[in-house]
Amino acid sequence: MIRPGLTFALWLAIASLVVVNDTLGDTVIAERLSPLAVEWYKALVPLPYVVLMAAIHARRTAGPQWREGALLAAVLWPSTTVIADFCYEHFTFGQNAAAFLERFAFWWGAPYPLLVVGLFAAPLLAGWAMVRSQR
């Protein structure tokens, strides 16, 4: 069953964690680590939480329309989380879009695409795993 309200509520939890984690990484963690290590911290710490939210989403949207529910989350979570993260960076540090897009430069070791891929893949994989376990 497709549950847009649930998808939104779980996204709100994910976006809140990402913004709080970025704030923590930019203030407390940045004093102790290199800039690249801080970027790794900001990308990897939310991933287990994303997997947890995807598992909750898969459990609540299990049924004949699980693909549609998982696809809704897989499309909305990464795009809106990137927008929320950009708004945080823009309003906190005055960062423009070009500077924010440098976070996607995986060729120099930027880990931010891992978070975006995780946000996309987690609902799909969790939904698929939930269907497989019910057989």
C-alpha to C-alpha distance for 18 and 13, rounded to whole angstroms? 9
Give the residue, 2 or 81, on which the prediction is more confident.
Answer: 81
pLDDT 10s digits, 49-95:
999 999 999 999 998 999 999 999 999 999 999 999 999 999 999 99
Q: What angle do CA 25, 28, 32 make, to 5 degrees?
A: 95
Give the CA distances from residue 117 to residues 22, 92, 101, in Å, rounded to whole numbers and listed in that order.
18, 25, 15
User: What is the pLDDT at residue 110?
Assistant: 85
pLDDT 10s digits, 83-127:
999 999 999 999 999 999 988 888 888 899 999 999 999 999 999
pLDDT score of 5 more than 90:
yes
C-alpha to C-alpha distance for 88 and 65, rounded to whole angstroms? 34
Q: What single string gives the DSSP state of each residue in 18-82?
A: HHHHHHHHHHTGGGTS-HHHHHHHHHHTHHHHHHHHHHHHHHHT-STTHHHHHHHHHHHHHHHHH
For residue 56, what are the contacts with CB-CB under 8 A and spacing of at least 6? 10
User: What is the pLDDT at residue 2?
Assistant: 84
User: What is the pLDDT at residue 108?
Assistant: 81
pLDDT 10s digits, 18-59:
999 999 999 999 999 999 899 999 999 999 999 999 999 999
